[in-house]
Each structure stands twice: as structure tokens, then as C-alpha cells.
């Protein structure tokens, strides 16, 4: 979607009066203070959207950024902007900051790498397992990672408690207690599954 260039209506009025030779002071009465928020919105919205598009490279997001900045301005200062010295600079800074926030969120979202899904055994592997083997695998799934490591190293790899402690960087006492808890959990799980 492309943006069409439209001049803000106050500028159009000034240009018309200059072209027709009329003085700008004889046109609409000039305000002493800063414009009200609705005038400011109509005068600056498109230029701020263009600025935001240059930053975020996405028209809908740019429009959202500008809308959010105007909403925050209205919420903070109301419709009359006399408390702001330079509302134009305030809006420009607000759009720039909001666009930077959008870019930071995008960068964070792109940097996130979801964890890989857990490996799923092939269908033929499960078909070849006996019912008892499937029960043991289901019981093993109830153990914590550390408990599974100790059980596999102790009863599959046939390592001693000292060797397991060195591999896992824990004490021998931790290996003993972990193995004991793991075997208790396995016994309870297998008895539940076989009922």
C-alpha cells in the first residue's frame, strides 16, 4: 500500500491565500498558543505516518504507532496543549521512540528460537517392543532428567557410583540417593501400570 501525499489543511489555506494575493492574517484568526489536539492531528498525522513508515517499514504498524502517540498525548495533556512548549517536536520524538520500541520487539521476536520438539520414536519401534518394555519406558518417563541419567549410567552402562559421580559432577552420596529415589518411583509406576 502506498501513501498519497496530501498537504495538511492549514498549509493548503496558507498557500491559497498566498496564491490569491490575500494576507494570511486576514484569513482565519490566528491562535496565540499551540493548536488543539484535533487541529494538530489533522495537520501532522500524515507526515508522522510517513516518518514512522520510514522507521518500521510497515504502513499498518506505522499508523498504529502514530495513533498510539496521539492517544498518549491526549491522555496525558487533554485536548488543549498549552502545557506543551512545542507539540510538533513532542509528537516527532514520541513517534521516533515508539517506532524504536517496535523495532526492538521485532528484533527480540526474530531472535527467539523455540526449543526443538522432543524426539518421537518411530512407529515400528513401538510395535516391536513388548508390553513390559513399553511399561518400563512409560515408568522411565516419570523420572527427572538427573534420575534418568543415574539409572541409565548405573544399570545400562554399568558404571560404578564413583564413575557416575565424576561424569555428572556430583557427590557419591547424591548418586546413591538419586538412584534410590529413582528405583522407588520406577517400582511404584510399574505396579500402577500393571494393575
Domain extent, residue 145, equals 123-193
Domains in the chain: how many in total?
2
Q: Do 137 and 165 fall within a single domain?
A: yes
Whole-number pLDDT of residue 135: 83
Question: What is the model's pLDDT at position 20?
Answer: 52
Task: Tell whether 88 and 53 lie within a shared domain.
Answer: yes
For 58, other C-beta atoms within 10 Å of its C-beta total 15
Q: Are 101 and 143 in the same domain?
A: no
pLDDT at 183: 92
Tell which of 81, 111, 141 closes a domain: 111
Are residues 107 and 15 part of one domain? yes
Q: 128 and 107 in one domain?
A: no
Prediction pTM value: 0.45
- Using 70 as the pLDDT threshold, list the residues of the chain that sit under it: 1-35, 126
Q: If DSSP codes are grouped into helix, strand and coil, which group holds residue 4?
A: coil
Q: What is the DSSP string of 171-193?
A: -HHHHHHHHHHHHHHHHHHHHHH
Residue 58 lies in a domain: yes
Are 55 and 99 in contact by the 8 Å Cβ rule? The answer is: yes
pLDDT at 127: 72
- Cell numbers that stand for 18 in this block: 498566498
- The predicted structure's pLDDT at residue 7: 44
Amino acid at each position: 500500500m502506498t501513501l498519497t501525499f496530501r498537504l495538511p489543511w492549514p498549509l493548503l489555506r496558507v498557500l491559497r491565500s498566498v496564491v490569491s494575493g490575500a494576507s494570511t492574517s486576514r484569513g482565519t484568526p490566528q491562535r496565540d498558543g499551540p493548536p488543539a489536539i484535533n487541529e494538530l492531528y489533522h495537520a501532522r498525522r500524515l507526515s508522522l505516518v510517513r516518518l514512522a513508515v520510514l522507521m518500521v517499514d510497515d504502513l499498518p504498524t506505522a499508523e498504529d504507532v502514530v495513533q498510539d502517540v496521539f492517544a498518549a498525548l491526549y491522555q496525558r495533556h487533554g485536548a488543549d496543549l498549552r502545557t506543551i512548549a512545542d507539540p510538533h517536536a513532542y509528537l516527532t520524538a514520541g513517534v521516533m521512540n515508539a517506532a524504536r520500541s517496535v523495532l526492538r520487539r521485532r528484533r527480540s521476536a526474530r531472535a527467539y528460537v523455540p526449543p526443538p520438539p522432543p524426539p518421537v520414536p518411530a512407529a515400528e519401534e513401538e510395535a516391536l517392543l513388548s508390553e513390559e518394555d513399553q511399561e518400563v519406558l512409560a515408568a522411565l518417563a516419570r523420572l527427572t532428567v538427573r534420575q534418568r541419567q543415574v539409572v541409565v549410567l548405573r544399570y545400562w552402562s554399568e558404571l560404578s557410583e564413583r564413575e557416575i559421580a565424576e561424569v555428572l559432577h556430583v557427590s557419591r552420596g547424591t548418586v546413591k540417593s538419586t538412584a534410590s529415589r529413582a528405583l522407588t518411583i520406577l517400582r511404584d509406576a510399574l505396579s500402577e501400570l500393571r494393575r
